[in-house]
Amino acid sequence: MSDPALEQLAEKLLAIIRKKPGERFEFEKLGKTLSCDIEQLRESARLLHDWRYRLKRHRKTITFVAPPDLLTDIEIKFGLKTKTIGRTLFCYHTVQSTNDIAAQKAEHGAPHGTVVVADQQTKGRGRLGRVWHSPPETGIYVSILLRPPFAPDKAPALSIMTAVALADTFGAYVPGEVQIKWPNDVWIGGKKAAGILTELSADKHKISHVVIGAGINVNQGVRQFPEELRPIATSLRRAVKRKVRRVDLLQAFLLNFEKEYAAYEKDGLRKSHAKIRRYSSLIGKQIGIRTGNTVVEGIAIDIDNEGRLIMDRDGTAVAITAGEVSVVKR
């Protein structure tokens, strides 16, 4: 049974001791600071231990060792540098789909910037009706709720904007190895490491809300991907060859997202255009775009400020808004 008063005390205790990892804090002094008795402090310490914080607990003292890599409210908020994105935050162990939860929160009036995170999804969705494999303790499944002031026709480019934020986030770990595959995939070393699913609720003229969902492969080993995905999927861990703290990665992503979104709201993709070109896995390549049963071929030459892929077809520039792209090998 959870005891809210004890949970509150545990959070206060944690806030004090985590500031100085390795230092012994005396229960007696802590008790005075937090206006509680030593037994209550010991119970709080037990609770922190249950929450998987690494602590050294002695009879009279407690020492903070390390936080867990769990996508909890306390951990994500600790050190989060954003102003709006993630300031309203919902964290879950298991959900069907964080995009669905974010849409429900939107219907109940959740504010712009609300973030929904889960450790595991049982019905994670990808684009084109695909499944997003979402096992626990390895990836990040996150949805960001936006209430943009702009018209619905500016919404599709939010996917590529998010891809830039993700690419910058990965780039801090594996500089030079990250690519964006238009319109919504982020690759590391030529394999997919993250996917983005943008879902819009709007009428003809006004956006009610947008949910941007990102599935981020952080610590999966090869075997944690289903066999059919192994040739095409990867994780950040496989590229950096060590485990990556998901909480740190998520905080960095949310901050990068906030910056990219602020620029996008003001100026569209103008500011990130050079970066998008640099990250693009398609520009300069002979590509094929499948829509239904037809494949149209040409050379990818740009991604414009509306997030459309510009393709050269026999000397004519054609703007593509959606579709499955593949590089044509000759």
Q: Which of 44, 72, 99, 251 binds ligand BTN (CB under 6 A)?
A: 99
Count residues contacting ligand BTN (CB under 6 A)? 21
Shortest Cβ 122–ligand BTN spacing (Å): 10
Q: Which of 130, 206, 270, 313 binds ligand BTN (CB under 6 A)?
A: 130
Q: What is the DSSP letter of 131?
A: B
Is residue 220 close enough to count as binding ligand BTN by CB under 6 A?
no
Shortest Cβ 42–ligand BTN spacing (Å): 39
Q: For residues 37 and 279, give the distance between their C-alpha atoms in angstroms, rounded to a whole number.
A: 56
Q: Is 169 exposed, middle or buried (0-12, 13-18, 19+ CB in 10 A)?
A: buried
Q: Give the phi and the psi of residue 191 in degrees, each rounded to 5.
A: -130, 155
- By CB under 6 A, the residues from 193 to 212 that bind ligand BTN are 195-197
Q: For residues 204 and 151, give the distance between their C-alpha atoms in angstroms, rounded to a whole number.
A: 8
Q: 53 to each of 3, 50, 57, 62, 71, how far by Cα in Å? A: 18, 7, 11, 12, 13
Binding mask 143-182 for ligand BTN (x = CB under 6 A): x---------------------------------------
Encoded amino acid at 220, one letter: Q
Beta carbons of 161 and 220 less than 8 angstroms apart: no
| Interacting span for ligand BTN (CB under 6 A) from 172-180, 190-198, 261-269, 314-322 | 190-198
Is residue 138 close enough to count as binding ligand BTN by CB under 6 A?
no
Q: Which residue pairs from 230-234 have beta carbons closer than 8 angstroms and sit at least 24 positions apart in sequence?
A: 232/191, 232/192, 233/191, 233/192, 233/193, 234/187, 234/188, 234/189, 234/191, 234/192, 234/193
Among residues 124 and 148, whose Cβ is nearest to ligand BTN? 124
Cα distance from N-terminal residue to C-terminal residue, the chain: 64
| Interacting span for ligand BTN (CB under 6 A) from 24-32, 121-129, 172-180, 297-305 | 121-129
Among residues 41 and 133, whose Cβ is nearest to ligand BTN? 133
- CA dihedral of 45, 49, 51, 55, whole degrees rounded to 10: 90
Is residue 141 close enough to count as binding ligand BTN by CB under 6 A?
yes
Among residues 125 and 308, whose Cβ is nearest to ligand BTN? 125
Shortest Cβ 211–ligand BTN spacing (Å): 8
Is residue 126 close enough to count as binding ligand BTN by CB under 6 A?
yes
| Interacting span for ligand BTN (CB under 6 A) from 96-104, 163-171, 266-274, 318-326 | 96-104
Question: Quick one: tokens of 123?
Answer: 């019905």
| 3-state percent breakdown (helix, strand, coil) of the chain, nearest 5 | 35, 30, 35
Is residue 183 close enough to count as binding ligand BTN by CB under 6 A?
no
Q: 151 to each of 190, 198, 267, 319, how far by Cα in Å? A: 35, 15, 14, 20
Is residue 105 close enough to count as binding ligand BTN by CB under 6 A?
no
Q: 313 to each of 253, 287, 290, 299, 328, how far by Cα in Å? A: 36, 10, 15, 7, 14
Q: For residues 225 and 218, give the distance between their C-alpha atoms in angstroms, rounded to a whole number.
A: 12
Is residue 67 close enough to count as binding ligand BTN by CB under 6 A?
no
Q: Which residue is nearest to ligand BTN (CB)?
A: 195
Binding mask 225-264 for ligand BTN (x = CB under 6 A): ----------------------------------------
Among residues 9 and 164, whose Cβ is nearest to ligand BTN? 164
Is residue 120 close enough to count as binding ligand BTN by CB under 6 A?
no
Contact residues for ligand BTN (CB under 6 A)? 97-99, 121, 124-127, 130, 132, 141-143, 184-185, 195-197, 213-215
